[in-house]
Amino acid sequence: MNDHDDFEDLPPEKLPLDAWHRQHGARMVPFAGYEMPIQYDGIVAEHQWTREHASLFDVSHMGQLAVSGDKAASELEKLLPTDIANLPEGQMRYSLLLNDGGGIIDDLIVTNTGAHYALVVNGACKWDDIAHLREYLDDDVTLTHHDDFALLALQGPEAADVLEALVPGVAALSFMRAGLLQWNGQHVWVSRAGYTGEDGFEIAVQQGHAAALADALVADRRVKPTGLGARDSLRLEAGLPLYGHDLTEETDPVSAGLAFALAKSRRETGGFVGHAACMARLEDGGCATTRVGLALEGRQPAREGAQAFAGDALVGEVTSGGFSPTLGHPIAMAYVETEHAGEGTRLQLEVRGKRLPAKVVPLPFVPHKYHRKGAA
């Protein structure tokens, strides 16, 4: 997700489910160029409901793209550091669009649907991403923007049981697997993935059927509509980076802790934008700064922009921060000088003229609960 304020001069667009959200009591705010629901019953209550039951999020602001044609895989490999040619049908992978210097233009999910490669990109970046893809992809490859589809996310430990009753076949999917299934006589594309650290699904459905699907989901008493506030606190606890905050064109995959997105085969063969810059950082043994998790003492959170100190020395800056409802204390992600990034390192974060004690801790803050293949 991305909430760049690149849309200040334009009125925010409305989601396909705008009226539905308002009917269910959502408080709407501008986000990534759209009016989005930030909360219904309260952020902490919605956060805890997601951890214990199932929550319905509207992520229709995301860009749903398709790349098709005989050369689609090889053309995508010019832009993504991912092994696309060997991506099995129905398999999803996290990937990155990079610039020549290895800076992150966007992070995304790519899926081999069989018929084409599906890309889900961040909402506030999607128009720039589309322009970037059109510039670099060969004319023989077709790029389609599926702006007639909504995207709903059902997240939480009860999500699989709820959705299986409506869309038979979803229970057979494991984490980062996807398939074309049937709901109420309609084709829906279901992915077992999400942005909360919990088990869950993302469902692409034609806009005209999105409200009926949302109604069917919240008719189950285990499901409640949930807004962006809880989505943000959940993804922070899960240690997941947010584009425009923890990831920008000034950050790179190595310093961001995303070197896993640089496929081993692609590191060797190269051929993608940013390859040389990424390899230089890997071969130099790392970067000047590293993304870390920080646990704070007390109750006062440190927000984005708070400076990190080791004694009198400025050593980094917070990129995401807030109070963790699950852990009961504030947490943050920050980029700090690599020599101060070791687990257990004690730092101080400056908030409103005060220095708050913090300690480097492993990410994620709360363990992921993804339904992985072969797991019980």
Whether the CB-CB separation of 236 and 230 falls below 8 Å is answered with: no
Q: pTM (2 decimals)?
A: 0.95
pLDDT of residue 4: 42
Would you state the structure tokens that stand for residue 318, as one six-digit string?
A: 């917070």
Q: How far from 220 is each of 72, 224, 337, CA to CA, in Å?
A: 40, 8, 48
Whether the CB-CB separation of 1 and 36 falls below 8 Å is answered with: no
pLDDT of residue 7: 43
Q: How far from 243 is each of 32, 42, 96, 121, 122, CA to CA, in Å?
A: 11, 24, 11, 10, 8
Which residues lie closer than 8 Å to 72 by C-beta, 6 or more apart?
Answer: 116, 117, 141
pLDDT of residue 373: 84
Specify the CATH number of the domain 259-361: 2.40.30.110
Alpha carbons 368 and 267: distance in angstroms, whole number: 27
Whether the CB-CB separation of 199 and 160 falls below 8 Å is answered with: yes
Cα dihedral 71, 74, 78, 82 in deg (nearest 10): 130
pLDDT of residue 376: 52
Q: What are phi and psi of 331, to 5 degrees?
A: -135, 165
Specify the CATH number of the domain 1-240: 3.30.1360.120
pLDDT of residue 116: 98
Edge-to-edge strand order for the sheet containing 104-112? 92-98, 104-112, 117-121, 63-68, 142-145
pLDDT in tens, the chain (376 residues): 444 444 456 789 999 999 999 999 999 999 999 999 999 999 999 999 999 999 999 999 999 999 999 999 999 999 999 999 999 999 999 999 999 999 999 999 999 999 999 999 999 999 999 999 999 999 999 999 999 999 999 999 999 999 999 999 999 999 999 999 999 999 999 999 999 999 999 999 999 999 999 999 999 999 999 999 999 999 999 999 999 999 999 999 999 999 999 999 999 999 999 999 999 999 877 789 999 999 999 999 999 999 999 999 999 999 999 999 999 999 999 999 999 999 999 999 999 999 999 999 999 999 999 999 876 5
pLDDT of residue 278: 96
pLDDT of residue 326: 98
Q: How far from 311 is each of 51, 287, 315, 318, 355, CA to CA, in Å?
A: 37, 22, 9, 17, 10
Domain extents in the chain: 1-240, 259-361
Name residue 244's amino acid.
G
Judged by DSSP in three states, 231 sits in helix
Alpha carbons 55 and 157: distance in angstroms, whole number: 10
